[in-house]
């Protein structure tokens, strides 16, 4: 055995400790039904309906499980404190009581604008218990995106902190006539004028507010999309979504009772809610919550010291670790880790190779959207990973590829959408509606919702291919596709190739109009530490890509940059690269990460 192999064995000694829930993909797909998945949940006692908060907290609060750590928070100094399942159940019931005491009705939208603190989780579950609709906002949003979303969602209640209120809400408060209550989690007996002290209200609230008898189709969540392609849309989700969170938590994330689970997404985004709150709590595992922002050494320390067993993260975070260099992981061991999964953007094969080397495990990519509410396509723990592929559809999910015409519309033949049956042929990824976490509408935009469906399929707006074994391969977002000299080029393929060059840390690829070719491929490159931009390096990288991709697909143009524009959820904003390049309007920038703003 080589030293490296030995090291890998040591690092992932935990891999074989647990038998994956999905041991045989084909067999599980054949026998799976959503009804069967529903049986893994409890339902409200007395057959009174289905409520996410009951499944996530109260059903575990009974008996010895109640003393189990539900949420373990990591402070800036690395110390931790926890909430048990029974504390979470109790506190969220109190929060529901507060809402009830204030006269907040079922269906009212309760927004959260909080850092990752206990109040966030308590408010979310408490809102479900009062039959309200949770709308999480990302705490780094500025006043404008906050105002925009609160207005769109006619928020009646906002739960926030003193500092966030002062800085971001007070300046726009006058524009929010529907906002009846602002609850401060840290008012310390002295709420700001026009706000309420949540702790004081919690202390005096009746503790035993029961859970409102919500039904599976009652609205539970309003999530705004990342705004990668335009203005963020408000996707509406119902309590029934928890069935999909449960099933995907079991088959994709393989959540077992003793797991220590860490999802690095903020609950301000759908991943942070579906898989940072709901799915793991429904499975009764211990959920890690880092109160701080991403930091390379801190993250390695958390993975090692907290003995994380399952880690759900994003390509952008993995690329940041890669950029820092493998040596930064030296000295940390990850023997507890048994599964790494990733979502949000295409996962470059290079990241999988890197993780295997540095963390001792590969990364399992999966695909979904705010609209789908839960994971739809995945690489499962029991199946070999095909680097660069998103994997295969979840049991219970029927995925297909729809042929598109030259304008990007689905091809209809004899009243039916034309499905692509040949392998390795690109089409628009489509899903057969009917899974529990499918969005039930876009807020105030019925027409747009309707346009997402054709011939009995939900059209995702993403382009993909399927190989002969049924694995799906992401090509690009419909809007990002580059048409050059008769070729259709997906930016992901080009970016992944560029990342294989030793000097390249990040790459964003777009099409630039060209009178001869229609469009030519242009790449924007961030270099790894220790490399300087130069004409020679530019030519070298272009040459490197040509050798691998061929002249028709490789970038013709290449610029070096120090910061690609990204959404706050970490996605490269290609539409903004393009708008800046062509001097066009920059569009909605509410989700743009601060560091990527132009000076």
3-state SS class at 465: strand
Nearer to Mg ion, 104 or 270 (CB): 270
> How many Cα neighbours within 13 Å face the side chain of 148?
15
The three state secondary structure string of 197-255 is EHHHHHHHCCCCCCCCCCCCCCEEEEEECCCCCCCCCEEEEECCHHHHHHHHHHHCCCC
369 touches ligand ATP by CB under 6 A: yes
Nearer to Mg ion, 244 or 308 (CB): 244
C-alpha distances in Å from residue 449, one per residue of 4, 340, 526: 51, 33, 37
185 binds, among Mg ion, ligand ATP, none (CB under 5 to 8 A by kind): none
116 binds, among Mg ion, ligand ATP, none (CB under 5 to 8 A by kind): none
Interaction with Mg ion in 292-311: which residues (CB under 5 A)? none
User: How many chain residues interact with Mg ion (CB under 5 A)?
Assistant: 1
Contacts 24+ apart (CB under 8 A), 102-107: 102/157, 102/180, 102/181, 102/201, 104/130, 104/132, 104/156, 104/157, 104/180, 104/181, 106/130, 106/131, 106/132, 106/212, 106/214, 106/218, 107/131, 107/132, 107/133, 107/218, 107/219
List phi, psi (to 5°) of 508.
-125, 130
Contact window for Mg ion (CB under 5 A) among 93-101, 171-179, 219-227, 447-455 = 219-227
* In the complex, least distance from residue 480 CB atom to Mg ion, rounded to whole angstroms: 11
264: nearest Cα among 297, 300, 313 = 313
* Residue that has been written with the tokens 């015409």 in this structure: 405
Nearer to ligand ATP, 467 or 540 (CB): 467
- Whether 239 and 51 have beta carbons less than 8 Å apart is answered as yes
Cβ neighbours of residue 581 closer than 8 Å, sequence gap 6 or more: 510, 512, 522
232 touches ligand ATP by CB under 6 A: yes
Contact window for ligand ATP (CB under 6 A) among 152-160, 291-299, 359-367, 576-584 = 359-367
Contact window for Mg ion (CB under 5 A) among 222-230, 252-260, 329-337, 557-565 = 222-230
User: How many chain residues interact with ligand ATP (CB under 6 A)?
Assistant: 25
Nearer to Mg ion, 225 or 389 (CB): 225
Nearer to ligand ATP, 51 or 228 (CB): 228
390 touches ligand ATP by CB under 6 A: yes
- Whether 509 and 519 have beta carbons less than 8 Å apart is answered as no
Strands (E), 515-595: 518-527, 557-560
112 binds, among ligand ATP, Mg ion, none (CB under 5 to 8 A by kind): none
Rounded CA gap, 214 and 218, in Å? 6
Nearer to Mg ion, 136 or 360 (CB): 136
Interaction with ligand ATP in 233-262: which residues (CB under 6 A)? 233
92 touches ligand ATP by CB under 6 A: no
Interaction with ligand ATP in 325-354: which residues (CB under 6 A)? 343-347
* In the complex, least distance from residue 232 CB atom to ligand ATP, rounded to whole angstroms: 5
Nearer to ligand ATP, 126 or 272 (CB): 272
346 binds, among ligand ATP, Mg ion, none (CB under 5 to 8 A by kind): ligand ATP
430: nearest Cα among 391, 395, 472, 388 = 472
* In the complex, least distance from residue 269 CB atom to ligand ATP, rounded to whole angstroms: 6
Rounded CA gap, 517 and 542, in Å? 18
Nearer to ligand ATP, 66 or 346 (CB): 346
**DSSP assignment of 55-95:** HHTGGGSSGGGGGSEEEEEE-TTS-EEEEEHHHHHHHHHHH
Interaction with ligand ATP in 191-230: which residues (CB under 6 A)? 225-230
Contact window for ligand ATP (CB under 6 A) among 157-165, 176-184, 186-194, 361-369 = 361-369
496: nearest Cα among 485, 504, 488 = 504
Nearer to ligand ATP, 60 or 223 (CB): 223
343 binds, among ligand ATP, Mg ion, none (CB under 5 to 8 A by kind): ligand ATP
293: which DSSP letter?
P
Q: Binding string, 544-583, against ligand ATP, x = CB under 6 A?
A: -------------------------x-x------------
* In the complex, least distance from residue 94 CB atom to Mg ion, rounded to whole angstroms: 36
- Whether 474 and 495 have beta carbons less than 8 Å apart is answered as no
Nearer to ligand ATP, 248 or 366 (CB): 366
C-alpha distances in Å from residue 183, one per residue of 83, 166, 191, 200: 21, 13, 9, 10
436 binds, among ligand ATP, Mg ion, none (CB under 5 to 8 A by kind): none
Q: Binding string, 461-500, against ligand ATP, x = CB under 6 A?
A: -x-----------x--x-----------------------
Residues that bind Mg ion in the complex, under the rule CB under 5 A? 225
Residues that bind ligand ATP in the complex, under the rule CB under 6 A? 225-230, 232-233, 343-347, 365-367, 369-370, 390, 460, 462, 474, 477, 569, 571
């Amino acid at each position: 055995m080589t030293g490296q192999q030995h090291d890998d064995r040591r690092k992932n000694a935990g891999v074989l400790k647990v038998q994956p829930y999905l041991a045989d993909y084909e067999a599980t797909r054949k026998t799976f039904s959503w009804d069967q998945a529903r049986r893994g949940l409890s339902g409200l006692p007395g057959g009174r309906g289905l409520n996410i908060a009951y499944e996530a907290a109260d059903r575990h609060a009974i008996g010895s499980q109640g003393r189990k750590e539900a949420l373990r928070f990591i402070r800036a100094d690395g110390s931790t404190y926890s909430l048990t399942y029974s504390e979470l159940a109790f506190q969220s019931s109190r929060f529901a009581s507060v809402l009830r005491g204030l006269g907040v009705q079922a269906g009212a939208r309760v927004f959260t604008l909080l850092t990752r603190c206990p109040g966030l989780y308590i408010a979310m579950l408490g809102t479900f218990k009062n039959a309200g609709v949770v709308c999480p906002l990302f705490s780094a949003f500025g006043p404008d995106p906050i105002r925009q979303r609160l207005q769109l969602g006619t928020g009646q209640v906002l739960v926030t902190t003193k500092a966030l209120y002062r800085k971001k809400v007070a300046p726009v408060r006058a524009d929010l006539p529907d906002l009846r209550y602002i609850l401060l989690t840290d008012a310390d007996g002295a709420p700001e004028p026009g706000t309420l002290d949540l702790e004081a209200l919690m202390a005096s609230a009746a503790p035993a507010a029961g859970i409102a008898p919500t039904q599976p189709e009652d609205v539970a969540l309003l999530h705004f999309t990342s705004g990668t392609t335009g203005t963020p849309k408000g996707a509406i989700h119902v309590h029934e979504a928890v069935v999909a969170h449960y099933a995907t938590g079991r088959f994709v994330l393989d959540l077992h009772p003793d797991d220590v689970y860490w999802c690095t997404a903020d609950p301000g985004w759908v991943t942070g809610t579906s898989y940072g709150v709901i799915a793991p709590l429904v499975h009764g595992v211990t959920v890690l919550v880092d109160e701080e922002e991403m930091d390379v050494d801190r993250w390695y320390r958390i993975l090692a010291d907290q003995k994380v067993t399952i880690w759900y993260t994003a390509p952008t975070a993995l690329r940041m670790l890669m950029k820092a260099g493998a040596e930064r992981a030296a000295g940390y061991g990850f023997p507890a880790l048994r599964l790494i999964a990733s979502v949000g953007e295409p996962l470059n094969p290079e990241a999988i190779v890197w993780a295997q080397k540095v963390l001792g495990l590969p990364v399992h990519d999966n695909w979904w959207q705010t609209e789908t509410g839960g994971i739809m396509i995945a690489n499962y723990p029991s199946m070999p990973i095909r680097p660069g592929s998103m994997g295969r559809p979840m049991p219970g999910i029927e995925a297909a590829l729809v042929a598109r015409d030259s304008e990007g519309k689905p091809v209809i033949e004899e009243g039916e959408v034309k499905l692509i049956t040949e392998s390795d042929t690109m089409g628009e990824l489509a899903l057969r509606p009917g899974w529990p976490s499918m969005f039930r509408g876009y807020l105030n935009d019925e027409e747009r919702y309707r346009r997402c469906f054709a011939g009995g399929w939900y059209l995702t707006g993403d382009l993909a291919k399927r190989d002969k074994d049924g694995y799906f391969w992401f090509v690009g977002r419909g809007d990002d596709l580059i048409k050059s000299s008769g070729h259709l080029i997906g930016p992901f393929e080009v970016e992944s190739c560029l990342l294989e060059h030793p000097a390249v840390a990040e790459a964003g690829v777009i099409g630039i109009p060209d009178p001869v070719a229609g469009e030519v491929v242009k790449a924007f490159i961030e270099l790894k530490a220790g490399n300087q931009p130069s004409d020679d390096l530019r030519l070298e990288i272009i040459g490197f890509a040509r050798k691998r991709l061929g002249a028709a697909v490789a970038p013709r143009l290449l610029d070096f940059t120090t910061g690609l524009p990204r959404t706050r959820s970490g996605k490269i904003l290609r539409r903004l690269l393009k708008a800046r390049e062509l001097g066009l309007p920059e569009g909605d920038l509410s989700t743009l990460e601060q560091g990527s703003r132009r000076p």
